[in-house]
Structure 1
Amino acid sequence: MALITISGYPCSGKSTRAEQLGKYFQKRLSEPGYDGPQLEVVIISDESSHVPRTTYDSSAQEKPGRASLFSNINRSLASDTITIVDSANYIKGFRYQMYCAAREAHARVATVHVIAPPEKCREWHEKRGGCSYKPATFENLIMRYEEPSSMVRWDSPLFSLPWDEDPPFKDIWNAIIKGDKKPPTSAVLQRNKRPPNTLQVLTQTTSQINASLLSHLNSFPESTTFPMPSPPAPSPQMLHLPPRRVNLSELQRLKRQFEAVQTKAQASGGVAASGTWTEGDVAIGYVRFLEQVWETGR
């Protein structure tokens, strides 16, 4: 039905806003004049996903933490659910992944940017006591924060909410109840009926691409592009790499995420990598997915 992403600095009041939104939605859904579908309001948080604050101390810990959060979000997305994601959500690539998952589930989306100055966040953080971040982690999260923008589709519609102002509850409600539902992205277009052995094709193709890419990086560690072999690509394709070293664990994580989205889509209506489940089309879909996550698409 809907996915609402809460984003902001650490200790900026995101959980408070998520709780306020949840209570407001439940109130609207229980009003006598409400004649829409029966909906459940679910808040997915780091805590509910068993992601402790120490997860953000290093990238090695953070990646599986985000995977756990993303898995819970995927399970929550349904036609009878309003999902509120109460987490840091400070990386625009991760917000894009959630946006793609929402479009796969034919859910409306909205982003709420909770705005508080760093000094106010520090003040609140110091009052937390034992459940706070490490000082270095807290400052790192502020420094690395990628602010949502209404100019990009995955953050829109965007509601910017200063910490000392009342939330625009009604506007957010209208966005998730009456707003447009975006069609799936080009990497996950609709297909009415899937052919047999789709899962085998999916896993074999992504595994082959990962293995070829790792072999390429071992031979050319400074490379910024990867010429895709054909097969599995139907024709010569160029994968643009991020300006850092991509390792095995990252590729395995992204492979699992891509396959999870495709498998869920297959079970709920046959949405595939690029409209079909052939080896070549899955390869193109996976390449597009990687470039979208890495923000390297040309």
Structure 2
Amino acid sequence: MPLVVLCGLPGSGKSRRAEELRGALSAEERPVHVVAEAAGGRAALRAEVERRLSRRDVVIVDAGNELKSFRYELYCATKHAGTPHCLLHCSGGAPHPSAGPFETPDSRNRWDRPLFTVHGQEPLPLAEIRAALFESRPPPPNQSTRSQPLQSAGFLHQLDRVTQEVLAAVLAAQRSGAQPGELIQVAGASEGLVLSRPLGMAELSRLRRQFISYTKMHPSEENLPQLANMFLQYLSRSIQ
């Protein structure tokens, strides 16, 4: 269940490298998932990574991952899951005017190693990446990577309420005749949910519990306005 974290400036070829890596690692007869940055920000990206981590699957994070603090969060997720990880730095590109600072990875930081750097069109160091992912021991978990108690009771209450409202809206839409392929809108959310198949209460409740457990690991008041959108994105990915 290894994790590959890509980082780099816009235009440095991260998505191309992610697909190249997916093709190479798929030959190992393991499922390989590429998780890309999308609406919902870092919290949604982290939740999707944590959802994908499993005993056999390889997860590739195709995002800028500019901040060392976020790379540290992903490193903690791998420690919590007991899986190896490595960092692939795509050198090149240029800063985007609206983007924040890029904190260059440093192999002296435990969350930035093993560190592999590629420039331009040079080949990926596939042998070294495979060794880091499949032949090394995962870092041992410690207290900092275990789930911490939720700091804000208000956050938990809001999380419970919003996810209940989303589930109620999805079930109500289906009772009203919504069919697969239709977009279900939820009050207070800019996102919608396109049904790919009918969803029952048992499955929706299970996905809600999973989303809550992931979100509680890193509660953040700044995510409160986006909880409904984050949950809808999570449902959309989970029912594909």
TM-score by length of 1: 0.50
From 127, 132, 152, the equivalent of 1:207 is 152
For 1:153 and 1:140, the matched residues in 2 are separated by: 29
Q: Which residue type is aligned with residue 15 of structure 2?
A: S
Q: Which residue type is aligned with residue 139 of structure 1?
A: P
1:183 has 2:140 as partner: yes
Deviation, structure 1 residue 261: 6.5
Match of residue 80 from structure 2 = 104
Quick one: percent identity of the two aligned structures? Answer: 30
Match of residue 25 from structure 2 = 25
TM-score by length of 2: 0.61
Deviation, structure 1 residue 260: 2.9
**Contact between 2:68 and 2:103, CA under 8 Å: does it hold in 1?**
yes
Match of residue 144 from structure 1 = 101
Match of residue 69 from structure 1 = 45
For 1:68 and 1:208, the matched residues in 2 are separated by: 21
From 6, 31, 41, the equivalent of 2:32 is 41
Instruction: Name the SS for the 2:6 alignment partner.
Output: strand
Instruction: Name the SS for the 2:129 alignment partner.
Output: helix
Q: Which residue type is aligned with residue 179 of structure 1?
A: S
Structural RMSD (CA): 2.8
Q: Which runs of 4+ in 1 moved over 4 A?
A: none
Deviation, structure 1 residue 140: 4.3
Deviation, structure 1 residue 184: 1.4
Match of residue 93 from structure 1 = 69
**Contact between 1:101 and 1:261, CA under 8 Å: does it hold in 2?**
no
Structure 2 residues without counterparts, runs of 5 or longer: 156-212, 220-240
Instruction: Name the SS for the 2:87 alignment partner.
Output: strand
Aligned length: 163
Deviation, structure 1 residue 5: 0.2
CA deviation vs aligned residue, 1:112-161 (integer Å, no higher than 9, x gap):
00011xxxx35xxxxxxxxxxxxxx81343x6000111000001100011
Give the structure with higher Rg (CA): 1
Q: Which residue type is aligned with residue 77 of structure 2?
A: A
**Contact between 2:77 and 2:145, CA under 8 Å: does it hold in 1?**
no
1:191-230 equivalences under 5 Å are 202-203=149-150, 206-207=151-152
Deviation, structure 1 residue 68: 1.1
**Contact between 1:150 and 1:157, CA under 8 Å: does it hold in 2?**
yes
